[in-house]
Structure formats: C-alpha cells, structure tokens
A and B are shown apart, each in its own frame.
Chain A
Amino acid sequence: SQQGEEDPQALSIQEGENATMNCSYKTSINNLQWYRQNSGRGLVHLILIRSNEREKHSGRLRVTLDTSKKSSSLLITASRAADTASYFCATDPLYGNNRLAFGKGNQVVVIP
C-alpha cells in the first residue's frame, strides 16, 4: 500500500524560485528517498536520507527528515525549467527487504 503522502500535489513556480514539497509516512523506516520522474520515463534517484540523519544536501537539493513527526521535506533552490517533473518520496521500511513505499507524487512545473 502507498505510504508516503506528498503535499502539495501540484506546484507551479517561476524559474529561479524555490520549490518545497512535504511528505509524511506511517511506519518505522530505514531511510527515506526522493525520486524524480519525467513524463513517460523511469524514476531517477535524487537523495537518500537515513533514519538517523536530520538533513542532507545535494547540489540544489535539501532534504530534511523528522522521524518523531514521520515527515520529510524536499527543497529545490533556484529552480530551472529542467526541474519540471513529478517528485516522489519513498520510504524503505524497517523490516521490509528494502521494498519502497511511494507517495502519489508532486507535479512541479517551472515556468521559464
């Protein structure tokens, strides 16, 4: 079953602005991962944050994790038109063979 729930579901921003997406989950996790998906393509791994980490950066991406609130956020800074995609959070459950549980995704449109 789907576990992650992203909020907001759709986001439209101007190029250069920041985009923030949130994700909540329900069970204990090993880690939480964010993926990007362009239309008709597979998912591209963006960043993995372990359950004992609180914040992680990768280029223009910043991810936070609050295990007490069972929530995570993804911030994309200085957005570009090429960032237009769907973004998914996925949880790797504590006892689950690393099978990922995905949310419904956020559709992000960056207007040039």
Chain B
Amino acid sequence: DTGVSQNPRHKITKRGQNVTFRCDPISEHNRLYWYRQTLGQGPEFLTYFQNEAQLEKSRLLSDRFSAERPKGSFSTLEIQRTEQGDSAMYLCASSDGMVTGKDSNQPQHFGDGTRLSIL
C-alpha cells in the first residue's frame, strides 16, 4: 500500500493562469474523491469518480473546474482562469467501493494535497 499520491505539493501561479493537479490513488481503489480545504475549515467535497465515471459534482465546482479519470486509475483536476478565491488546499482521497459481499462502509484515504496560491 503506497498511499495516495498528489502532485505537485505546492503550486503558485498568477491570476488568470490555468493549473492542473494530479492524484494517484491506492491501486486497488475504484472510488476517487476531490475535496477543497481553506484555512481553518474542514474539507469540502468537489467531485467523485467510480472507476472512470464522474458520478457526482458539487455546486462548488464551477465551469472553470474540470476533473478526469481517463482509465479509472489516476485523476487530474484542472482549474482554468484561476481567481484569488481558488487559493486553497486541494485534497484527493480514494476508497474501496462496494464489491458484492464486501462492507460498503469503507474509510477514505487521503493524499497530502496540493496547496494552490494565486498571486
């Protein structure tokens, strides 16, 4: 179990630029989640994948945000035309989704996040 890996750890960019983050989940996990966390707050759900299918998106995910998980393995989160308010920690988590005969109550395993700072 190598854990959830996120890259880069830090990203500093100018307002208006596009940024892309990558998440590599735990290899056998079919569920992948993106969350956003601002200072002093708990994480907020952004979007969820089961395998390659994006099954749920939060209203927080404006049309400037897009996420993909092309082969059901790693995922990318892209933010276009970044704004000051996008500054946050972006966290990825994965879990082992329900398989027949397996308990659906599974914990999520988080990466260390990508901290985005918009200048």
Binding site for B on A (CB under 8 A): 1-2, 4, 30-31, 33, 35, 40-45, 48, 50, 88, 90, 92, 97-105
Contacts and interface: CB of A to CB of B under 8 A. Distances in A.
B85 interface: no
30 contacts: A2-B42, A4-B42, A31-B105, A42-B4, A43-B43, A43-B91, A43-B93, A43-B110, A45-B108, A45-B109, A88-B42, A88-B43, A97-B48, A97-B50, A98-B33, A98-B48, A98-B95, A98-B106, A99-B45, A99-B48, A100-B43, A100-B108, A102-B35, A102-B42, A102-B43, A102-B44, A103-B42, A104-B40, A104-B41, A105-B41
Interface of B: 4, 6, 31, 33, 35, 40-45, 48, 50, 55-56, 91, 93, 95, 97, 104-113, 115
Nearest to A6: B42
A105 B105 contact: no
A56 to B, nearest CB: 12
Contacts of A105: 40-42
